[in-house]
Homo-oligomer: A and B are copies of this chain.
Amino acid sequence: MELKNKRWTDEEFFKVREEVLSQWPTGKEVDLQEAVDYLKKVPEEKNFAIKLKKAKEEKRTLAQPRAGVALIDDHIELLNYLDKEGGADFLPSTIDSYTRQNRYEECEVGIDESIKAGRSMLNGFPAVNHGIKGCRKVYESVNLPVQARHGTPDSRLLAEIIHAGGWTSNEGGGISYNVPYAKAVPIEKSIRDWQYCDRLVGFYEEQGITLNREPFGPLTGTLVPPSMSNAVGIIEALLAAEQGVKNITVGYGQCGNLVQDVAAVRALEEQTEEYLAEYGYKDMVITTVFHQWMGGFPEDEARAFGVISLGSTAAALSGATKVIVKTPHEAVGIPTKEANAAGIRATKMILNMLEGQRLPDSKALQAEIEIIKAETKCILDKVFELGNGDLAVGTVKAFEQGVLDIPFAPSKYNAGKILPARDNEGCVRYLMTGNIPLSKDLLDFNRARLEERAKFEGREVGFQMTVDDIFAVGKGKLIGRPEGM
């Protein structure tokens, strides 16, 4: 089957589906008609898509943690703790790393060992192994909408099981859950596999059940220039819409300059809507998610609270619909449930205090929005051009040619030619532009902003800036200035 950005026919879908469901015994439990009946009974307040739509209408920013452990009962206890003691608005189920690699046998071992050890030996919830029954038990034992959060290049079986299990949102996408999460999965393959996940959601939509899909905005979480992650988000939204997805949350990972962060969210929301309209997708519900700082954290918990809080502030002021919450344990290891709840409480304190407040419109904000949109458009134009109008084909070629290029990604299908660095105000800019097709004006703009910093710091623009910037937040600063500045 040739890769194309085109809605799969039922024939195509159901043919592949047979194979997917046979990948692990729990696959056989999925009966779409029964699942539709089950999902029809999900009350509005436990439907991810509907709750997001409402939040957008009410102009509120809602909070969601990350969390997942190996065993069902422990996982339920964890989620309810985050609801009750943290005040979470949405619940996650972070999936373990073996499931992400489709290594379900190893999950089985992890589950057994966890039972024996009396504590989780997996870094997440192995949803495929627990099957529909396990997922439904989770869904039925909590009071909030549940989403799968992972990093799985091939998430087809997982998607089947979680949605039939009552989880009304799935994070990921053919680019965002491949390039940062895999070494050797061809882009072509992951796009196709995510078309499947999207088509599944489209199928449910056609049955009158709205489910949410969320491209993973932050990618490698490390100094990704906003226009690059926005371009990826928009592509994934378009690909999803083509398969019939209606409720999409596009995402962005905090960079740290407040104006750039707000501009990025606004540009992302506006351009996503523009592109979806341009390509004829109707009745779309587009919301945004802001990820608190996704790079290296400071080890000290008080400083970590500072980082978490600044992210919450930027999220609120940007008007994002949702914010993904970090914890004071971030730099060290998977958080205890207490640390996780503390992160949510700090976040919600700020969201509550800033409810209804926005960064006022200003020349500076408009200028940054314009820059991000212009850069994004340069990239997207070229992607469409490379695909002769087909976005899926264009995306594959764009990665081959480094037109799409994610900094610090492990994937061998990623060119790895661009390098980011902060300018003198802390905005993330392109230092090495590799093959990204920015106009001369935009290239000059990026360069000039970095030269300004270089001058201020009395050194050359160069990779050392990038390295210093990567360590900066962990060391308590935003910009990696030379020692003693």
**Out of B350, B364, B425, B478, which one reaches A309, CB within 8 Å?**
B350
User: What residues on B are CB-neighbors of A349 within 8 Å?
Assistant: 298, 302-303, 306-307, 310, 476
0 or 1 for each of A126-165: is its CB under 8 Å from B? (1 = yes): 0000000000000000000000000000000000000000
Q: Which of A49-57, A253-261, A268-276, A388-396 contacts B (4 or more CB under 8 A)?
A: A253-261
User: What residues on B are CB-neighbors of A302 within 8 Å?
Assistant: 305, 341-343, 345-346, 349
**Out of B352, B360, B477, which one reaches A259, CB within 8 Å?**
B360
- Minimum Cβ distance to chain B for residue A348 (Å): 7
When the two chains form their complex, are residues B478 and A355 in contact, meaning their CB atoms are under 8 A apart?
yes
Q: Can you name the residue of chain B whose Cβ is closest to the Cβ of A353?
A: B478
Distance A476 CA – B349 CA, assembled complex (angstroms): 6
Q: A residues near B, CB below 8 A?
A: 256-259, 298, 300-303, 305-310, 312-313, 317, 341-343, 345-350, 352-357, 359-365, 424-426, 473, 476-479
Additional 6 contacts, C-beta under 8 A, given A306-B348, A360-B360: A256-B353, A302-B346, A302-B349, A307-B349, A353-B426, A353-B478
The 4 residue pairs across chains A and B that have the minimum distance between CB atoms: A309-B309, A306-B349, A360-B364, A362-B362
Q: Can you name the residue of chain B whose Cβ is closest to the Cβ of A347?
A: B306
- Minimum Cβ distance to chain B for residue A416 (Å): 28
Known: A317-B258, A345-B300. A360 touches B365 (CB 8 A): yes
Q: Can you name the residue of chain B whose Cβ is closest to the Cβ of A257?
A: B357
User: What residues on B are CB-neighbors of A306 within 8 Å?
Assistant: 305, 309, 312, 345-350, 353
24 A-B residue pairings within 8 Å (CB atoms):
A256-B353, A257-B357, A259-B360, A300-B345, A301-B342, A302-B305, A302-B341, A306-B349, A306-B350, A306-B353, A307-B349, A308-B309, A309-B310, A309-B346, A309-B350, A349-B476, A353-B477, A353-B478, A354-B478, A355-B426, A355-B478, A356-B424, A362-B362, A362-B363
